[in-house]
Amino acid sequence: MEIYKKSITELSDLLNKKTISSVEMTNYFLERIKTHDSKLNSFITINDRFALKKAAEADKKISNNEHHLLTGIPIAHKDLFSTKNILTTCGSKMLKNYKPPFDATVVKKLDDIGMVNIGKTNMDEFAMGSSNESSYFGVVKNPWNLDKVPGGSSGGSAAAVAACLSPVATGSDTGGSIRQPASFCGLTGLKPTYSSVSRYGMIAYASSLDQGGPIGKSAEDCAILYNEINGYDPNDSTSNHEQKIEKIKLNFTKENASKIRIGIPLEYFSKNLDQSISDEIFKSIDVFKKLGFKIKEISLPNHNFTIPAYYIIASAEASSNLSRYDGVKFGYRCKDPKNLEELYFKTRKEGFGKEVKKRVMIGAYALSSGYYDEYYIRALKIRRIIRDSFLAAFKDVDFIFAPTSPTTAFNIGEKTSNAVDMYLSDIYTTPVNLAGLPALSIPVGYSNNLPVGLQIIGNYFSESGILNIAHFYQKNTEWHLKVPKEFDNE
């Protein structure tokens, strides 16, 4: 039956027809995790008992015809979404024993409609990384090549979905952490408009940049999940309460395509981009042309300012957010401190990893007296300039196509000693976060047998258009249907 390859719609159809029960489906994916995850390390926590209990409840809802399309479908959550009484570590020693007393809004929404949480996925510590190598729980490996990274920080979620250990997963995107792993693992990943998905219960890295979203095999799966997790949340002070978000319907036609203008930013196809990736992206653009889309070259002239601005802002916000981990309220606590100052110092020294300490120190420096205006305020001004560049471009085009990453997945350990090289992995994704825009990465080909991702960027709250464009492309191509050879079996 090859259940592992099926889409959300196909799995839901199997449940509705009683071809398989949710308990059986959940057991099926739990068995795949037990069989394959030792090669990947994509999960931190596996919720066997809890998942099977939820699956049994879902079967009752289906039997009573009280179900939703997603009822009974297994899902994995990135381990920064709080899950009530279930370990939520954020990939850090600091939270290795933390069990929240509440669910994140995203988790609760999906739980309320009967999705089955099968586990919490590995991630870069506190979402700080581009390779999933900074986790306290070990490196995650790419299903397409076990010597390669899966991308970060949502690498665990991406690896789990790519290896078909879970049909879909949640991720978070602060500077590309949904889109870049989706690109490295041959998946579809949506970073929604900032404020459209609640951050309540999402352990914070950089509050003005963090955004939760779905990772799936296809635009259709991402659209189905996004429809359920978006919307206003009074528990989140940054949640959008003005823009009414309609349910996305995937009904795009060639006639619609002929009215869409796509911008290709010349600055994104510079020497920073691997030539083989550029070739694959332009092949996909040719497909879009044949499907009727109008393609136009545009300019985003401030592109090269994004990395320094992003890392100043993100690190500054991280230094503020992570100050709550002091050994007093919750989380890790050092042993036998002599006084309060030593409690703080030793707890953070022992509880945080190297990458987190580095970014907290950068952020504290940027916010310090005498440097605040020179670094942090200047970065905020650059952020506004970048946003304005996008808005100017959207006067000429409807959507923008760009590479997701300058390279395909790189070797484990290749960039850990060079922070600049690692940070440049996010050169094409961070501008979207600084501007707060929505963007989607879809697979469009291969370079050296590794997936290549194309990024579709839209104006604020244009998720429907982005997902429809991607779905229309995926109906006419098969890149999103590919499964890594080692995991392409029952």
Single-letter code of the amino acid located at 213: G
Tokens of 480: 């999103």
- Rounded Cα distance between 256 and 420, Å, is 42
CA distances (Å), origin 286, targets 156, 228, 262, 271, 467: 32, 33, 12, 22, 19
Chain Cα centroid distance, residue 95: 21
93 is catalytic: no
Determine the straight-line distance between the first and last CA of the chain, rounded to whole angstroms: 9
Query: Which residue in the list 153, 166, 239, 462 is annotated as catalytic?
Result: 153
- Rounded Cα distance between 84 and 104, Å, is 8
153 is catalytic: yes
Query: Which residue in the list 12, 22, 92, 177 is annotated as catalytic?
Result: 177
177 is catalytic: yes
- Angle among Cα 8, 10, 13 to the nearest 5 degrees reads 110
- Rounded Cα distance between 305 and 379, Å, is 9
Q: Which residues are catalytic?
A: 78, 153, 177
